[in-house]
Amino acid sequence: MKMTMRWFGTDDPVPLSKIRQIPGVTGIVSAIYDVEVGDVWPFEKIAALRQIINQEGLELDVIESISVHEDIKLGLPTRDDYIDAYCESIRNVGKAGIPTLCYNFMPVFDWTRTNLQHTLADGSHALSFCYEELNDIDLDAEGAANLPGWSTVYTPERFKELIEQFRALGTDTLWNNLTYFLERVVPVAEEAGVKMAIHPDDPPWSILGLPRIVTGEAAYERITRVVDSPSNGITVCTGSLGASLSNDLPQIVSKFGKRNRINFVHMRNVAVTGNKQFHEAPHLSRLGTVDMYAVMKALVATGYDGPLRPDHGRMIWGEEGRPGYGLFDRSLGLMYLQGLMEAAKSQRNSQW
């Protein structure tokens, strides 16, 4: 496996010079943040980003993410133009030598939390979600679109309009629109040498009446059958999937790993504390709901050798910055994951 860390570009408070000091880290997961959703990502900007990362002795292994325009998800007449632009971005990613592209198909926003400063028993802070708190939100209130984790690119009026459109769209039509998208873009990705990796919905259930479809094993099965290609793969996110106790993570890894459809892995832990309620937890298995060692053993057993990142972490030791993306706890998590990997490989070898 290739150990990577998320980096948000030159404005990230965590510099590459510090990331490269984490033992075992060789790759970076990043994106271009000054291109409008729906526009083509210029090759020059992708290449320049890669050069900045290479100069620090690291590789740009994953683009996360090129956002899918809402018109594509809604299936509007304008979607073909936006899909054409998306295909051109994929070509440019491949031309720049970036092997993996993570993306999602969640309506309106790409993850949702109701609290970015949930205080744990040890005094650290983590992201959390409570379904009941979310349902208390008044969507007519000014600034409702600026909830934790929600996209801030929309005005409150546009946000409310999109909510209504997606509620009317329904699950079946959203599936049809994802199928249409995949049939167009996967052949382009295959030709460009890019492996696409769809991220599961976070959290993996419907919220505010919106359709959510990428929620577990059955969804992954359906997606990977649309276009049978290694370029049509998945992101296994243990935190997103682990928020639902119905997801058997080692089984998912084993099934899709054997089929060579896991193209990217996010590993983090969550503590499920109630019905559709959880907070993000330290990576250690015993401190959350996810059996991280079982997941790692499944990855090792299937021979997964792609990029993996520790994903979110707590804010600890007084660190400030982007919630979930402090350097300290993610570094601890990454070292723990490497320990799990060594143990899993040792156990596998002793059984041969």
Beta bridge partners of 100: 62, 195
CA–CA distance, 77 with 121 (Å, rounded to integer): 51
Model confidence pLDDT, tens digit, residues 39-97: 999 999 999 999 999 999 999 999 998 999 999 999 999 999 999 999 999 999 999 99
What is the identity of the amino acid at 228?
A: D
pLDDT at 36: 93
SS3 per-residue string spanning the chain: CEEEEECCCCCCCCCHHHHCCCCCEEEEEECCCCCCCCCCCCHHHHHHHHHHHHCCCCEEEEEECCCCCHHHHHCCCCHHHHHHHHHHHHHHHHHCCCCEEEECCCCCCCCCCCEEEEECCCCCEEEEEEHHHHHCCCCCCCCHHHCCCCCCCCCHHHHHHHHHHHHHHCHHHHHHHHHHHHHHHHHHHHHHCCEEEECCCCCCCCCCCCCCCCCCHHHHHHHHHHCCCCCEEEEEEHHHHHCCCCCCHHHHHHHHHHCCCEEEEECCEEEEEECCEEEEECCCHHHCCCCHHHHHHHHHHCCCCCEEECCCCCECCCCCCCCCCCHHHHHHHHHHHHHHHHHHHHHHHHHC
φ and ψ of 343, to 5 deg: -65, -45
- 108 — alpha (psi -120 to 50), left (phi > 0) or beta? left
Write the pLDDT tens digit of every residue in 173-203: 999 999 999 999 999 999 999 999 999 999 9
Cα separation of 75 and 178, whole Å? 9
Residue 44: is it exposed, middle or buried by C-beta count within 10 angstroms (0-12/13-18/19+)?
Answer: exposed
User: Which one of 199, 201, 202, 304 is the catalytic residue?
Assistant: 199
Residue 266 falls in the annotated catalytic set: yes
Using CA atoms, how far apart are residues 17 and 3, in angstroms rounded to an integer?
16
pLDDT given for residue 111 in this prediction: 86
pLDDT at 180: 98
Lowest-pLDDT choice from 22-26, 134-138, 289-293: 134-138
Count, residues in the chain: 352
Q: What is the pLDDT of residues 114-140, one digit of tens each?
A: 899 999 999 999 999 999 888 777 666
- Would you state the pLDDT for residue 134? 81
**What's the rounded mean pLDDT across residues 216-223?**
97
Q: Above pLDDT 70, what percent of the chain? A: 95
pLDDT at residue 151 above 70?
A: no
Q: Is the model's pLDDT at 153 over the cut of 80?
A: no
Whether 279 is catalytic is no
Q: What is the mean pLDDT of the chain?
A: 94
Query: Is 220 one of the catalytic residues?
Result: no
Higher pLDDT, 157 or 207: 207
The CA-atom distances, in angstroms, between 140 and each of 113, 131, 149, 164, 333 are 19, 18, 18, 12, 40
Range of the domain at 281: 2-351
pLDDT(142) > 60: no
Q: Which residues contact 280 (CB under 8 A, 6 or more apart)?
A: 118, 126, 127, 128, 239, 268, 269, 270, 271, 312, 314, 324
In degrees, rounded to 5, the angle at the alpha carbon of residue 231 between the alpha carbons of residues 226 and 237 is: 85
Per-residue pLDDT at 349: 81
| Beta-bridge partners for 236 | 265
The CA-to-CA distance between both ends of the chain, in Å, stands at 20
The arithmetic mean of pLDDT across residues 148-152, rounded, is 62
What are 295-339's pLDDT values in tens digits? 999 999 999 999 999 999 999 999 999 999 999 999 999 999 999
pLDDT of residue 140: 65
CB atoms within 10 A of CB 47: 15
Residue type, 53: I
Q: Does residue 69 have an active-site annotation? A: no
What are 69's two structure tokens?
A: 């325009």
How many structural domains are present in the chain?
Answer: 1
Active-site choice (266, 279, 304, 329): 266
Q: The domain spanning residue 77 has which CATH number?
A: 3.20.20.150
Half-sphere exposure of 85 (CA within 13 A, CB side): 19
Residue 311 among the catalytic residues: yes
- Residue 325 annotated to the active site: yes
Residue 239, pLDDT above cutoff 70 = yes
Q: What is the pTM of this model?
A: 0.95
The CA distance from 139 to 157, in Å, is: 10
Q: State the residue for tokens 């649309």.
A: 226
